[in-house]
Structure 1
Amino acid sequence: MVRRRGGQTLAGHLRRQGVRVSAGPWTICANSAPGRGRLILALGRASGGAVTRSRVRRIAREVLAGRCERPEAADLLLLARSDVSRHPRRQVRGSLAELLKRLSAALARHAGQGQRHA
């Protein structure tokens, strides 16, 4: 676990202060980061059994590494809020890719607001 100043973890920081986008069982929190961003996958038992959580982790990494619109230089926290074991792989891929597109737009809006207030 990576701790920042003040004892707060990166995941805690993203949950409290990051840009948040939700759809269906998924929530992604993000903040711009210097250099290369990191991915944190927080999938508890509520998201399904161990096999389901491993499958979702593989799919999430695949989607982020692939063709979709990934926010550049951002730390990402992916949360599954409910059971995703009944969702087929295609649906998981599609919903995560769509959520990342929405997140890119939200981060761009957030950056634009920050520049206006500076």
Structure 2
Amino acid sequence: MNSNRMLEENAAYNNAEVRKVPMVIPKGHVSFHHCRTHHGSGPNLSDRPRRAISFHLQDGENRYRAFRRSDGTPVAYNHDVLVRRTPEGLPDYADPEFLPVLWRTR
């Protein structure tokens, strides 16, 4: 299933609306968006690799929660295989090797 169709089906299942908003980001600029924003880019037409860096900010109380698509298949976050496991065997989003604390508000 292509990603656009999956996005539309999952939105319908969750009574949500998909609103597509094209965005042109000039060379050397950045984009900040909410973690629930489905995003992507076109093909790299240059002769050089495309470079990217991402920061995923999370509340200190963030924990793994199982989630299923509208067709019942489980969703797996692609970084779940990298982090250590909790005693229950779930991905540990407090793993300092992959998810360092950058600042505390308290």
Q: With the length of structure 1 as denominator, give the TM-score of the two structures.
A: 0.23
- Highest CA radius of gyration, 1 or 2? 2
**Is the helix fraction higher in 1 or 2?**
1
Q: With the length of structure 2 as denominator, give the TM-score of the two structures.
A: 0.25
Which structure exhibits the higher relative contact order, with contacts defined as CA atoms closer than 8 Å and separated by 6 or more residues?
1
**Is the strand fraction higher in 1 or 2?**
1
